[in-house]
Amino acid sequence: MPDRRGGRRSAILGAALALLALPPAARAETLLRARLNADILSTNPGVRRDENTDMVLQHVVEGLVAYREDTSVGPLLAERWETSPDGRTYTFHLRPGVSFHNGAPLTSAEVVWSLRRYLDPKTHWRCGRELSGGGYARVVGVEAVDTQTVRVVLDKPFAGFLATLARVDCGGTAILHPSSVGPDGAWRAPVGTGPFRIAGWKHNQYLDLVRFAGYRALPGPRDGHTGGKAARVDRLRFLVIPDPVAAEAALLRGDLDVLDNVTPIDARQLRKRRDLRLDVRAGFDVFAILFETRDPLLRDPRLRQAIALTLDVPGLTRAVTAGMGRPNRSVVPVSSPFHDAAQAQVPPPNLAEARRLAQAAGYRGQPITLITNHRYPAMFDGAVLVQAMAMQAGITIRLETLDWAAELDRYNTGRYQAMSFTYSARMDPSLGYDALTGDKAADPRKVWDDPQARALLARSRATADPAERQAAFDQLHALFLRDVPAIVVFNPPRIAAVAANVTGYQGWAAGPQRLWGVGLR
Amino acid sequence: MRRLSLSGWIGVALIGLLLATVLVSLAWTPFNPLAIDLDHTFAPPSARHWLGSDEFGRDVLSRAMAGARISVGIALATVAAAVSAGVVLGTAAGFLRGPVDRVLMTFNDALLAFPGMLLALGVIAVFGAGAGSMVGALAVAYLPSVVRVVRGAVLSIREREYIEASRVMGNSEAWSMWRHVAPNASPQIAVLAASLFGWVLLSESALSFLGVGVPAPAPSWGNMLASARPYLDTAAWLAIAPGACIVATLLGANLLSDALRDRFDPRGAP
Amino acid sequence: MSARPGVVGYVAKRVAGALPTLLIVAVLVFGLIRMIPGDPAQVMLGDAGDPQAVAALRTEMGLDRPLPLQFAAWLGHALRGDLGVSIATGEPVLPLILQRFQVTASIVVSAIALATLIAVVGGLLAAWRHRRGLDQAVVGVATLAMAVPSFWLGLMLLLVFGVKLQWLPVVGYVPLTEHLGAGLAYLVLPVATLVIVESGVLIRMMRTSALDVLRLEYVTHARAKGLSEARVLLRHVLPNAFAPTLTLVGLALGHLLGGAAVIETVFTLPGLGRLVVDSILARDYPVVQGCLLFAALAYVLVNLAVDLCYPLLDPRVTVEG
């Protein structure tokens, strides 16, 4: 076959060229290749961002605090901190010996500069609103106490302050060297303190990170985004491969070493391969069927309860996630430390009761439109199954498939009857409930407009005491099952497939791939 | 008029089989094509499920039959819409000429210069996925080629003596148009319609492949293929059935359009 | 084609004549993409975007200004060759389009060239052996090729040659300018797929028009003069029968150069078609507008080039100034 000969010849030629290019004594550079399903939006942490951007930049920059493996907040660039008795003042002590990618040492000056930059409305920081007038608490002061100490003052106590700083979508509130921006304040490139630095970005093709030789990891084992973050390869390449089938093919052929966000469908097949290893975790995403509770038909909670009662939750979860997801009727993810016995119960389907409730609600077979999309197979398959299951109790559901942007528009404006949706991972249950709960008039994307729920949510947020918070979450859950503003069905699994010669890969229920500590044999 | 060739007969047989399937599916399918059976997913072809079952335990044969109805329905409706609109516009442009022609053809050229698939993608994104918007989108995408062909046919026929004679005899323009041009252009339109049917079917499956197809859970061959894609390795039957249906239908449509062309215009006959 | 000024004048007139077409395309694209529900600010913020954040981002992107103003501003810049910057990535649109166009063009041009070659050889041979085995075989294969969906064929080739046999890379892209051998390896499957699906209709067109020409008297004449069959086919039949095929080649080239979205999706090539589809899904308005204007321009120019080729084939056709 001429093709085959050509391919081989080119491979040999390529290898020869590569040999010529290297100085004879040089050790071969180690290269780890991972996939992005879409290019990152920018290199500006917490500003122009999406999930891919957050994930990549977590390898490059670090904040004062970060999430640990169990989703609690732990130290990262701050070695320790104190909170004033009134809960308004936080004093951070920086870890000594840390330096930026440009060699400059980390001091309080850069921390103050970074925090002030984020709080400047002109920066458009993702979490600027949370820490300004309209948010949970306003930062009224950021100042350096000495070269290694920084003090932040809030206008009122806010138990979730550190968790907000740690949030991945806030860019981990990364501490940056001021040379990250130009003299005009325009973004240039991140000069951070992470284990890798950006070496090249070919838009829509690949992004290269290289090992930062001067990195000082927080000692200890790998722990969320905090400890043990040493680079084990010289170069980390994120290849932009939008098509999942193509990405899988690349992995099988050896063009990729790590493939994160494998769908359960694909995982089913990859599981059989000897040259791969699968890493499956119960994720923090929340798959749910949302209802518009102001809809004339769905306003009656009995109809919503009826639909919930038609669902074979374990069966649906098994079919959509190839048996790898965890059935869960609670907003609190199964992997969360707050997911206790009260949250773990999954009521079985009851078609007779569903019929009775629907009837009592005055339902006479009117079609209910359920919006879904083609971009995310789980949302699509989930909608198909909900439609088929509701049909068994005489409830007619019509599916409307939109593209993702159009579905988001409906979500944001509340113009729908029902919607198949997945909330992205929120580490703290307060944030999870906050995504659902609120005033529909002010923010139409909130599905649960209930005063009691809002009061309970506020209580969960006002305290840092785990037992008090657990009680609030348990009450919220009971209320949620009774009112059914949405039906939470499962937490999609987080699955990564890694080549057999990859060492040290460790998936994390709460977040996407972390490629520090990962090497090649 | 010539007798049908062997390939013409194959075309007739394939299209006949398709229409028969559509008719049968209206009254009967082995299973409800929408009914899920989570205990019997990915069943390979067997006596119970002749073409196997899919990822939700739905019967592939039943879905392929129901899919024929939907895919063929969309293709027929699209062809009807594009051809009728195209005949009106093309005849008007070709017969009236002058400014009407110029304006129509400028618009037509603009639409022609627009990649058809992307136009359809945009239209569907605006109006939401559904059989109706699918038909509208594809009809708009294929309209310019119909207008062009009809206008060309009208222009050539218009010059013939008998139209001139008809006009000399005092018949009005509109009457001449109907009386002579429409019937004389109809063979070309029939041939075009047959090929159009194939293209539309192909476009429908391609749009489904790009993620904007017939809305679920209703099956179409395109969305069956698209959802079979992840299982190519382990459950190839899911992709074979709709793929074979598309190929057979397109083959039938092309052979039939060849046969039609031969009948009306024996010049290019094999 | 006798006088050069005639040709130059003709080209100028055709390009000027295409301007209304391009303007209509621009208006259509602008109107259509803005009618699609959802906007880039929402896509960018996802499920975490509260109304204030979405509104702020919208203002930052300039999407809160009246539509006619936005269009006028865009058109004014476009006329000066500035297609703006991508909302999603901040990249300038024109260089982005040109970079993606190289990928699409290298695949499409080589595939259409190969398909044309196959069509000429297959069509001539089939016409020459009219109603014999070879003819029937060629027509059968061509008809079958027309019936195969391109993405289906592409997936099958990918499965067989990429995944099962591992002869060719299945994903990624290396520009030919960077590494010739590796670059070619990435092009084999997409080009093969396009050649197969595009050649069917070309073969049949070539065969039909070759049959027409073979019936003409001067061919009989040429044969009577004792010219070899090969000479008759190449010197007399081919030039006279090629024009309709060329028209189809022009149409295919014109449309595919604007982006072969399906092929690019199957083989994950960073081409123009995938750029458009991705940008529509992300509501990246400037990129969609720029790409489709570019696609329309490519279509107009290719067809102009084809029209200019006719007189070369057939001296009876002249280009009118």
Chain A CB contacts of C179 below 8 Å: 10, 14
Q: pTM surpassing 0.95?
A: no
Asked whether the beta carbons of residue C28 and residue B225 sit closer than 8 angstroms, the reply is: no
User: Nearest by CB to A374, which of B35, B38, B211?
Assistant: B211
Whether residue A145 is predicted with pLDDT greater than 60 in this model: the reply is: yes
Q: Report percent pLDDT > 90 for chain A.
A: 67
Structure tokens at A65: 């605090």
| Distance in Å, alpha carbon of A203 to nearest chain C alpha carbon | 8
Candidates A141, A138, A142; CA nearest to A155 is A138
CATH number of the domain bearing residue C155: 1.10.3720.10
Count the neighbouring beta carbons within 10 Å of the beta carbon of residue A243: 18
Asked whether the beta carbons of residue B122 and residue C33 sit closer than 8 angstroms, the reply is: yes
- pLDDT at residue A4, rounded to an integer: 36
Kindly tell me the burial class for residue B12, based on how many C-beta atoms sit within 10 Å of its own C-beta (0-12, 13-18, 19 or more).
Answer: middle
Whether residue A2 is predicted with pLDDT greater than 60 in this model: the reply is: no
Touching subunits of B (3+ CB pairs, under 8 Å) are A, C
Q: What is the number of structural domains in chain B? A: 1
Per DSSP, the three-state class of C64 is coil
Phi, psi of C67 (to 5 degrees): -55, -45
| Distance in Å, alpha carbon of C21 to nearest chain A alpha carbon | 29
Chain B CB contacts of C155 below 8 Å: 229, 232
Candidates C55, C50, C42, C54; CA nearest to A136 is C50
Residue A70: pLDDT band with limits 50, 70, 90: confident
Interval A344-385: pLDDT, tens: 988 899 999 999 999 999 999 999 999 998 778 889 999 999
Candidates B182, B188, B160; CA nearest to B260 is B188
**Domain membership of residue B152 as a residue range:** 6-268
- pLDDT at residue A139, rounded to an integer: 94
- Asked whether residue B97 is domain-assigned, the answer is yes
User: Nearest by CB to B210, which of C163, C208, C277?
Assistant: C277
Whether residue B216 is predicted with pLDDT greater than 70 in this model: the reply is: no
Candidates A90, A109, A91, A87; CA nearest to A100 is A109
User: Nearest by CB to C211, which of B229, B255, B268?
Assistant: B268
Q: How far is CA C101 from CA A206, C21, C95, C188, in A?
A: 18, 21, 10, 18
- pLDDT at residue B171, rounded to an integer: 66
Interval A224-280: pLDDT, tens: 999 889 999 999 999 988 767 678 878 887 889 999 988 887 788 788 888 999 999
Q: Which residue has the higher pLDDT, A216 or B125?
A: A216
Choose, out of C91, C155, C165, C170, the residue to mutate when testing the contact with A (most A CBs < 10 Å): C170
Asked whether the beta carbons of residue A129 and residue C52 sit closer than 8 angstroms, the reply is: yes
| CA atoms within 13 Å, Cβ hemisphere of A25 | 0
Q: What is the number of structural domains in chain C? A: 1
For the CA atoms of A503, A506, A507, A510, what is the dihedral angle to 10 degrees?
-150
**Domain membership of residue C137 as a residue range:** 93-320
Asked whether the beta carbons of residue A412 and residue C49 sit closer than 8 angstroms, the reply is: yes
Residue B167: pLDDT band with limits 50, 70, 90: low
Phi, psi of C152 (to 5 degrees): -65, -50
User: Nearest by CB to B110, which of C21, C135, C148?
Assistant: C21
Chain C CB contacts of A204 below 8 Å: 89, 270, 275
Give the residue on B whose Cα is nearest the Cα of A407. Answer: B128
- pLDDT at residue A1, rounded to an integer: 32
- B60-96 and B237-264 are packed helices; what angle lies between their axes, rounded to 10 degrees? 30
Choose, out of B5, B209, B212, B249, the residue to mutate when testing the contact with C (most C CBs < 10 Å): B209
Interval B172-213: pLDDT, tens: 666 666 666 667 777 778 878 888 888 888 888 888 777 677
User: Nearest by CB to C262, which of B123, B210, B243?
Assistant: B210
Please give the ipTM for the structure prediction.
0.76
Touching subunits of C (3+ CB pairs, under 8 Å) are A, B
Chain B CB contacts of A265 below 8 Å: 55, 230-231
Residues 6+ apart with CB under 8 A from A168: A54, A55, A58, A67, A225, A511
Count the neighbouring beta carbons within 10 Å of the beta carbon of residue B90: 28
Structure tokens at A511: 């977040």
- Sheet containing strand A196-202, edge to edge, reads A196-202, A206-211, A235-240, A31-36, A258-259, A493-499, A276-282
Interval A424-453: pLDDT, tens: 888 889 989 999 999 988 888 899 999 999
CATH number of the domain bearing residue B29: 1.10.3720.10
Per-residue pLDDT of chain C (321 residues; tens, 9 = 90+): 444 557 788 888 878 878 888 888 888 888 888 888 878 888 777 776 677 778 877 887 778 888 888 888 888 888 888 888 887 766 788 988 998 898 899 899 999 999 999 999 999 999 888 888 898 899 889 988 988 888 888 878 877 887 677 777 665 666 677 677 777 888 888 999 999 989 988 998 889 888 888 888 878 888 888 888 888 888 778 888 888 888 888 888 887 887 688 888 778 788 888 888 888 888 888 888 888 888 888 888 888 888 888 777 766 655 553
End-to-end C-alpha distance for chain C, whole angstroms: 10
Interval C22-59: pLDDT, tens: 888 888 888 888 888 878 888 777 776 677 778 877 88
- Asked whether residue B1 is domain-assigned, the answer is no
Structure tokens at A124: 């458009």
| Distance in Å, alpha carbon of A416 to nearest chain C alpha carbon | 13
Phi, psi of B42 (to 5 degrees): 55, 40
Residue B269: pLDDT band with limits 50, 70, 90: very low
Exposure string of C119-145, with b = 16+ CB inside 10 Å and e = fewer, is bbebbbbbbbebeeeebbebbebbbeb
User: What amino acid is encoded at A417 in this protein?
Assistant: Q
- pLDDT at residue C14, rounded to an integer: 79
Mean pLDDT across chain A = 89
- Asked whether residue C142 is domain-assigned, the answer is yes
List A residues 175-204 in contact with B (Cβ-Cβ < 8 A).
none
Asked if A380 and A374 count as a contact pair (C-beta separation under 8 A), the reply is: yes
- pLDDT at residue A318, rounded to an integer: 92
User: Nearest by CB to A245, which of B129, B230, B234?
Assistant: B230
Whether residue A12 is predicted with pLDDT greater than 80 in this model: the reply is: no
Interval C90-101: pLDDT, tens: 678 898 899 889
- Asked whether residue B189 is domain-assigned, the answer is yes
- Asked whether residue C52 is domain-assigned, the answer is no
- Helix-strand-coil split of chain B, %, nearest 5: 75, 0, 25
- Asked whether residue C141 is domain-assigned, the answer is yes
Structure tokens at B98: 């002058």
| Cβ–Cβ contact A244 with B under 8 A | yes
Asked if C285 and C34 count as a contact pair (C-beta separation under 8 A), the reply is: yes
Residue A5: pLDDT band with limits 50, 70, 90: very low
| Distance in Å, alpha carbon of A417 to nearest chain C alpha carbon | 17
- pLDDT at residue C56, rounded to an integer: 78
- Pairing assessment for the beta strands A276-282 and A493-499 based on DSSP bridges: antiparallel
Give the residue on A whose Cα is nearest the Cα of B228. Answer: A265
Only one residue has tokens 């209304």, namely C20
Asked whether the beta carbons of residue C162 and residue A13 sit closer than 8 angstroms, the reply is: no
Chain C CB contacts of B225 below 8 Å: 149, 152
Chain B CB contacts of A263 below 8 Å: 230
- Rounded CA-CA distance C252/C197 in Å is 11
- Rounded CA-CA distance A354/A310 in Å is 6
- pLDDT at residue B36, rounded to an integer: 87
Asked whether the beta carbons of residue A205 and residue C182 sit closer than 8 angstroms, the reply is: no
If phi over 0 gives left and psi between -120 and 50 gives alpha, with beta otherwise, what is residue B93? alpha
